[in-house]
Structure formats: C-alpha cells, structure tokens
C-alpha cells in the first residue's frame, strides 16, 4: 500500500496542513513536529486504490485535494458507495484505533492528494495530548450517530427527502431568507445516488420533482437552492411532505410555527375538514405570495413568447405553477371564515382557465386573453388575502402590505412586457404608472414602520436599492434595443422580489 514516489511536503507545509484540520489545530509544537515527520504526501490518479478490504490499517489520512470514495461490493457484484471524502476530511481513524483491517475499499474518484500519517506516531501523540483524544472520541462517536441516523433515514425517508437532505447538508444549511444558495455536486449523480441509498434514476427524478416544486434550480452540476421556497416548505409542508415523498411533516403538530406568533387551530365552517395548526401571519404571507406568483407566471409566459431568457423563464413558470398549487392546498385548509373560504373557492375556479392559458405555447393572439384572465384571478386572490387579515392586527396589515409589494414588483414587469404583445400601450402605461406610484408610497410606509428595527431597516435599504435599479430599467422603455431592455427589466424584477420576500419574513417575525 502507498508505494507511490512523489515529492513530499516540506515540514512547514505539513505542519500548516495539520493546523488547518480541527483534529490537530491546538497541538503543542512538539507533537505537531512529530506528526509532520511521520507524515508523507501521497498522490493518486483517478480510479487508483488507496486501500482494499482486509488490508491492515497502518495510517490516518487527510484529504488535501481531490475526491475519494469508500465502497463495498455485494455478493451480486454491485458496488455501494459508503462515503464520499472531500478535501479537509480525515479518514482511516476508525480502523486504525480499533486495530482491525479495513472493511471497505477506498479509491480516488479523481486526481487526489492525501497526507498519510503513520499510525505509531499518531498513537503516541494521542496518548500524551488529552485534547486530541477528546476530539478523536467525539469524532468517532459522531460518526456512529451518523451511521445510525442513515439507517433510520433509509428505512423511513423517501428518495426525494434523502436528496433534499443531501443538498442541504452540502450547503451547510440555509442562512438567507431569500435568493439562491448555489452548491456544486461533489461527484457524479450515480455516485451520489449510491451514497444516499437510491438508484440513479430515483436521484434524477427527485431533482426534477424538487425543481418542478420550485425548491431548486438545476444547471448541470450546479444546484441552486431557492431559499424562500425551502423556508416556506419547512413551515407549511403539512401532510403532503416533499413533492412525491408521501411523507408527513411535523410543521403543524406542535401548535406553533417556529419564530412566529403562537399558532392556533383554524377550523372550517360546517362540512369542511378540520383546519391545520399554523400562525395567522404565516397564512397572510402565503396568501400574499399567491398574488405575486400569479403575476410572475404572466411575466414568465411573456418572456418565453418574446425570447427573453427563455430557459430561465421556462423554469420560473414551471416553479411558480407548482408552488401556487401547493400553497393553495394549505390555504384551503386554513380558511377560518366563510368569507376566506368563498374567496379561496373563487380563486381556485379562476385558476384553472388561467393555468390552461399558461400551458399553451405563447402566441400574440392569446396575449389579450391572458391579460384579462390574469387580472380576474389576481382580484380574487387579493380578496382572499384580505379575508385572512384581521383589521385589529397591526402586524397582519404590515405583512399584507409587504407581501403586496412582492406582487407589484412582478406586476410592473408584466405590464412592461405586455406593451410588446399587442395590448394597447395606453392601458399598459396607465397601469404601470399607477403600480409604480403605489409601490413607492407603500415602500415609504414600510420604511416608517421599521424605524426601530435595524435588521428590517437594512433589508428595506436593499429593497430600495433594487427598486431604484428596476425604475431605471423601466424608464428605458423607449431605448433602441427592446430585447436587451426586457432582459434587464425581467432580471431586476426577480432580484427585487427576492429582497422583498426576505422583508416580508422579517415583518412576519416582528410579532415574535
């Protein structure tokens, strides 16, 4: 094992690698030097073996560069990926300290560089460095818990749930309330599928399901997590769980949505099934988002017809439809009054013909029909949202107002694009001007409400900056290159709605 002849690291380089690793970060200089002298660099080409099943463990490895996999092979000859090992990770310690031979094969997925530390020197350092011993014990215990959790997941979680859990683990969790979190798949889909215990076909299907649901956008090896949609899913997944999962979330079972005002059970009128447990402000946020999605769908349809960022427009349209329908189920269950339920029913009835138009290939002859259908279903959705807002709730009114700003951001882009599709320019210009005026006035009200809230002020400052960019792009309507202007309007309206989505969440959190 490990008889490759390569240029070794210098002592200084080796000590720097050790200090960057959490296991050895606080070592005394004497111990660091001993490990550095007992370590050597080993390079592997793609497919080369690091160790095999049954081989005696004599070293610990730190991945400096590249990607490796630990695998086992069934009696039928099928390979199962047990672990994908990335730069910075340590491996080989379990077998080394258990004094047992390797129970799996390890090989390089691509060109890789390892630092190999002789086991005898490591044992001496661990014996006299209690801090290293404690970290090593914690690492081994944590790995045992991970294995147990994986066994439970493989028995109880669907393929879609395992895929989204893997993506979230790769991202380190979602910190932002809006926008996208980009991750790069560390290996091929086949390797990742084997690692999480699904078939490659299931992995690919799960990515499509999650993309159709608006939770991710996939572009080759890059996956863009849609932060706001994922946060919404965490709060309101309900009985449906992840798309295609057939599982049940705990979001409503404990009587409170995390970070919100105390939730209550919202019961329907006679003849309707019992409502879910969900925060009143979360309901307003969801209902308000429906208004935005209706405008975003029209914008995406128009972008497709005009050839404006067509690939992105197709994804946006598909995501918006899926998210609208998923949220509609939540809102139907949460309609706590006859007024809200009737408005929900009306919105649902108008939605079907509108969706039918959206699913047609965009043609200028359909633009007028889409214009009228969009306005009708938007009015119904606006009445539905208002029905969820209590006149006595200051926070509810602020969430509704901020949520309406999301809709207006898309509505402005919609009217801009409709001007190029045969809708009379005077109608579009009148509506666009009125929408811009409403947005500016509402933004001033929201800024006044956030005067003593630093986080909210900072977010609204970001909204204002993006709003100014969109205004400049809208003012360029008479420019010589309409397509380029349309691209700028579409892109800046997307960035604005992302900033607004984060602001709505912060207004929702004020009640807490």
Return the pLDDT at 481. Answer: 67
The whole-angstrom separation of Cα 485 and Cα 416 is 10
Task: 457-460: list long-range contacts, CB under 8 Å, 24+ apart.
Answer: 459/499, 459/502, 459/503, 459/506, 460/503
Separation in Å, CA 97 to CA 30, 35, 86, 102, 370: 22, 16, 22, 12, 68
Share above pLDDT 70 across residues of the chain, in percent, rounded to a whole number: 84
- Could you tell me which residues come within 8 angstroms of residue 97 by beta carbon, excluding any fewer than 6 positions away? 123, 136, 140
Classify strands 222-226 and 216-219 as parallel, antiparallel or unpaired. Answer: antiparallel
The whole-angstrom separation of Cα 53 and Cα 72 is 8
If you average pLDDT over each of 193-202, 231-240, 354-363, which comes out highest? 354-363
Tell me the torsion sign for CA atoms 459, 433, 489, 401: positive
Q: Pick the residue with more confidence: 393 or 240?
A: 393
- Could you tell me which residues come within 8 angstroms of residue 404 by beta carbon, excluding any fewer than 6 positions away? 288, 291, 382, 385, 442
Helix (H) or strand (E) holding 222: strand 222-226
Per-residue pLDDT, averaged over 302-329, amounts to: 88
SS3 7: coil
The whole-angstrom separation of Cα 26 and Cα 336 is 58
Spell out a b/e string for 484-505, using b for 16 or more CB atoms within 10 Å of the CB, else e: ebbbbbbbbbbbbbbbbbbbbb
Q: Which two tokens stand for residue 255?
A: 């009587």
SS3 69: strand
Per-residue pLDDT, averaged over 125-133, amounts to: 87
Return the pLDDT at 27. Answer: 85
Report phi then psi at 63, rounded to 5.
-80, 120
Task: Specify the pTM.
Answer: 0.56
Return the pLDDT at 271. Answer: 37
Spell out a b/e string for 236-248, using b for 16 or more CB atoms within 10 Å of the CB, else e: bbbebbbbbbeee
Closest to 247 in 3D by CA, of 149, 157, 154:
157
- Is the pLDDT at 259 greater than 90, yes or no? no
Per-residue pLDDT, averaged over 157-169, amounts to: 83
pLDDT in tens, 182-233: 888 888 888 888 888 888 888 888 888 888 777 887 877 888 888 777 776 6
Cβ atoms of residues 24 and 32 within 8 Å: yes
Dump the DSSP string for 80-139: EEEEEE-TT-EESHHHHHHT---SSEEEESSSEEEEEEEHHHHHHHHHH-HHHHHHHHHH
Q: Pick the residue with more confidence: 159 or 32?
A: 32
**Where do we find the tokens 């309707």?**
272
The whole-angstrom separation of Cα 363 and Cα 366 is 5
The whole-angstrom separation of Cα 58 and Cα 50 is 12
Per-residue pLDDT, averaged over 68-93, amounts to: 86
Question: For the chain, what's the residue count?
Answer: 512
């Amino acid at each position: 094992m490990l008889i490759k002849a390569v240029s070794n690291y210098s002592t200084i380089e080796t000590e720097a690698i050790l200090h960057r690793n959490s296991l050895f970060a606080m070592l005394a200089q004497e111990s660091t030097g001993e490990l550095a002298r007992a370590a050597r660099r080993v390079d592997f080409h793609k497919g080369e073996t690091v160790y095999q099943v049954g081989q005696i463990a004599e070293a610990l490895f730190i991945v400096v560069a590249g990607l490796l996999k630990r695998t086992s092979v069934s009696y039928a000859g099928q390979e199962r990926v047990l672990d994908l090992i990335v730069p910075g990770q340590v491996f080989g310690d379990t077998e080394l300290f258990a004094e047992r031979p390797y129970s799996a094969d390890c090989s390089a997925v691509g060109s890789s560089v390892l630092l190999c530390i002789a086991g005898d020197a490591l044992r001496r350092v661990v014996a006299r460095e209690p801090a290293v011993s404690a970290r090593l014990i914690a690492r081994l215990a944590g790995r045992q818990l991970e294995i147990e959790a994986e066994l439970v997941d493989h028995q109880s979680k669907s393929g879609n749930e395992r895929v989204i859990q893997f993506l979230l683990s790769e991202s380190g969790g979602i910190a932002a309330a809006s926008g996208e979190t980009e991750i790069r798949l560390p290996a091929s889909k086949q390797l990742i599928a084997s690692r999480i215990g699904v078939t490659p076909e299931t992995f690919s299907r799960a990515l499509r399901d999650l993309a159709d649901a608006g939770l991710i956008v996939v572009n080759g090896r890059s996956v863009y997590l849609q932060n706001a949609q994922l946060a919404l899913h965490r709060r309101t997944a309900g009985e449906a769980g992840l798309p295609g999962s057939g599982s049940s979330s705990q979001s409503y079972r404990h009587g409170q949505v995390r970070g919100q005002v105390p939730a209550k059970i919202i019961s329907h009128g006679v003849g309707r099934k019992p409502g879910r447990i969900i925060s009143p402000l979360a309901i307003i946020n969801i209902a308000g988002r429906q208004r935005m999605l209706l405008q975003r769908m029209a914008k995406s349809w128009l972008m497709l017809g005009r050839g404006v960022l067509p690939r992105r427009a197709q994804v946006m349209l598909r995501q918006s439809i899926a998210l609208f329908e998923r949220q509609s189920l939540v809102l139907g269950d949460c309609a706590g009054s006859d007024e809200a339920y009737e408005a929900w029913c009306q919105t649902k009835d108008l939605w079907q013909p509108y969706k039918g138009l959206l699913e047609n290939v965009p043609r200028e002859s359909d633009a007028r029909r889409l214009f009228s259908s969009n306005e009708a279903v938007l009015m119904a959705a606006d009445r539905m949202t208002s029905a969820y807002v209590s006149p006595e709730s200051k926070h509810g009114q602020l969430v509704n107002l901020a949520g309406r700003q999301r809709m207006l951001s898309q509505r402005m882009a919609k009217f801009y694009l409709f001007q190029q599709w045969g809708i009379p320019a005077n109608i579009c210009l009148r509506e666009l001007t009125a929408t811009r005026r409403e947005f500016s006035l509402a933004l001033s009200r929201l800024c006044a409400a956030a005067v003593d809230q630093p986080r909210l002020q900072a977010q609204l400052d970001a909204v204002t900056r993006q709003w100014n960019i969109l205004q400049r792009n809208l003012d360029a309507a008479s420019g010589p290159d309409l397509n380029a202007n349309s691209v700028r309007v579409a892109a800046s309206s997307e960035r604005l709605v992302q900033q607004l989505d984060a602001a709505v969440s912060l207004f929702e959190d004020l009640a807490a």
